[in-house]
Amino acid sequence: MPELPEVETTVRGLSVILNQKISNIKIHTTKLRFKIPNNIINILRNSKISNIRRIAKYIIIDIDKEYSLIIHLGMSGRLKTASSNHKRNKHDHFILYFYDKKILIYNDPRKFGFIDIVKSKDLQKQKYIMNLGVDALSPDLKAQMIFKKISKSEVPIKQILLNQKLIAGIGNIYASEILFDSKISPLVLGKDLEISLIMKLIKSIRKILKKAIKFGGSSIRDYRSTDGTLGSFQSNFKVYNKEGKKIGNDKVKKIVQYGRSTFYCPKLQNNN
């Protein structure tokens, strides 16, 4: 699943359509995770892209400062830009055509993503936005705030990092890398994390996510940027998918937590 770095990389790649006017819309699949709104074509046709931004793992394309197009990439979705002579792939479900002959394509083999359109003033009222926690890269992510929310939690910190209602944007891949960087065991419970460790954790969150963005995200299965470029942060993984790799006097171990793979070094991350 594309996580915060991949979504941020996608948003930056969409700068080529900023201020462009939409000439046509083609919907080849009306239902992804949810049904695409019926009014989307009438709203989008002849409108102009005024801003492109990210909220957690959601791509927000503001239209004429009145409506916002929301795109979630799901498990395998991606946005790609191309010229108007592009030959459609069978997984190209939604295509925007621009007057300057560019096109924007939503491609999703597994159809777990979704596309929505709402009035911009109502964006924060949408349930999938309203329930989000603090963005993982926001300056509002403070150790004291996290400490208060998890000080009684019996949930392991790895699962806490994946809780989008607490910290928005971190997924399974980066959670393992962040915990290794901060030398915190994925097994330690929220209630057992002292504020000094939470400060280390936040520092590692920012370090790992910013580095991943710099490298264009991670391409493990489906992810590519808007121009088709593969991300390269996977070459910087220390523990994710590295079971058995020797690090100092330790080896990367793989365990399963809440149905998700976790990679860590038991000796180096031994504060459980």
Q: Which residues are marked as active site?
A: 2-3, 57, 260
Do 14 and 81 touch, CB atoms closer than 8 A?
A: yes
- The beta strand positions in 190-252, using DSSP E, are 246-247, 250-251
Type of residue numbered 151: S
| Nearby residues of 246 by Cβ (< 8 Å), 6 or more positions away | none
Type of residue numbered 91: H
The backbone torsions φ and ψ at residue 128, rounded to the nearest 5 degrees and listed phi first, read -70, -20
Q: Where are the alpha helices (DSSP H) in 57-163?
A: 127-130, 143-150, 157-161
Helix or strand run (H / E) with residue 9: helix 4-13
Pair type for strands 250-251 and 58-63: unpaired
Strand-pair partners of 81:
104
DSSP per residue over 47-73, as a string? -BEEEEEEETTEEEEEETTTEEEEEE-
Q: How many other CB atoms are found less than 10 A from the CB of residue 139? A: 8
